[in-house]
Structure 1
């Protein structure tokens, strides 16, 4: 795989994390760049690891991984998205609720895992190609770091415009990503 194909693959794999991080940024109270970078690092590290895991699994049990990864991503994203939607509707009784300054580490890790399962499936496919899996995984992780950090900063500006609806919209985006993963599996 040449450099341009690797870069295209890397940024293609980062789009789910980008969309999710926009929603995450929109639900925070004016997230600082350090919080955006923290989110980008978490998403980037996990997005680096999942193709490596997929590559290893591809060497062992390709069929099992390909049969179940879309369902796992779908369930995780629907769960997280549903939780965000419920939280978006709670506290709408006129009370002012405190908007968090940052997301919990494990919430970000779970979201990052859910949005990076497609990278694991790509890693399975890469097991059958003559590619440098370390360089490819690092490219995917770096692209995700950039896109997730950028997404958080975009969400910072969208959040005040949407208010509490930002969390609802973020949940809908996560559910939409899960549905798209499931749809692309069955359609393609």
Structure 2
């Protein structure tokens, strides 16, 4: 059984927040998974990195404090939205050019790092908020990481399945999904 410091209401709230934050990773994973040539090993690498960022960002938020969260609230959304717009726009551009241009491979370390950061950045603000009323930091961090990692691999796998059926339009649709989410983060 869990420690007495975590009440059932707190545990339910933590798990609901973990799922809500993981939905970004799931949805965006579908878009990235639609990119042709995504291998399972790379998908696992991206999901592992997302899980790490889903643990690191709320941990940083928990320790950063209330004022930093208020100050950076809009900036984090703009940064995440901008990164997604760039990645999605580039995917659409390459799909329209028939893959002639230089591609940003989501399997490259820097691309995986930027993607993981963009889907996990909202965890920072949630971590700041949770730090005010929850004492069990490790439960929050581990829950967010496990749920974020699992939801991202499910999204990537679903995206790969959809891409196989859509053929050459899969990358364009994936880029469009990322652009839409980027705009939603900015608004």
For the superposition of Structure 1 and Structure 2, which TM-score range results when normalised by the shorter chain?
0.7 to 0.9
**Closer/same/farther in 2, CA of residues 7 and 112 from structure 1, 3 Å limit:** same
Query: Structure 2: how far apart are the matches of 1:48 and 1:142?
Result: 9
Is the 8 Å Cα contact of residues 80 and 171 (structure 1) preserved in structure 2? yes
SS of the residue 1:75 aligns to: helix
Q: Normalising by the residue count of structure 1, what TM-score does the alignment of the two structures yield?
A: 0.83
- Name the counterpart of 1:121: 125
- Name the counterpart of 2:114: 110
Q: 1:20 aligns with which of 2, 23, 28?
A: 28
Structure 1: unaligned runs, 5 residues or longer:
184-188
The two structures, once aligned, show a CA RMSD in angstroms of 2.5
Alignment of 1:7-86 (within 5 A): 7-29=15-37, 31-32=39-40, 34-59=41-66, 61-86=68-93
- CA drift of 1:49 comes to 0.7
The structure 1 segments of at least 4 consecutive aligned residues displaced by more than 3 Å after TM superposition are 99-102
Is the 8 Å Cα contact of residues 27 and 164 (structure 1) preserved in structure 2? no
Q: Deviations over 1:74-102 (max 9, x none)?
A: 11111111111112212279xxx9x9997
- Name the counterpart of 1:174: 178
**Closer/same/farther in 2, CA of residues 45 and 92 from structure 1, 3 Å limit:** closer
SS of the residue 1:121 aligns to: helix
Query: Structure 1: how far apart are the matches of 2:82 and 2:36?
Result: 24
Is the 8 Å Cα contact of residues 31 and 153 (structure 1) preserved in structure 2? no
Structure 2: unaligned runs, 5 residues or longer:
1-8
Is the 8 Å Cα contact of residues 25 and 154 (structure 1) preserved in structure 2? yes
Query: Structure 2: how far apart are the matches of 1:174 and 1:64?
Result: 26
Matched, 1:164 2:168: yes
Aligned residues: 178
SS of the residue 1:14 aligns to: helix
Q: Normalising by the residue count of structure 2, what TM-score does the alignment of the two structures yield?
A: 0.84
Name which of structure 1's ranges 15-24 and 1-10 shifts more when overlaid on structure 2: 1-10
Query: Structure 2: how far apart are the matches of 1:112 and 1:80?
Result: 12
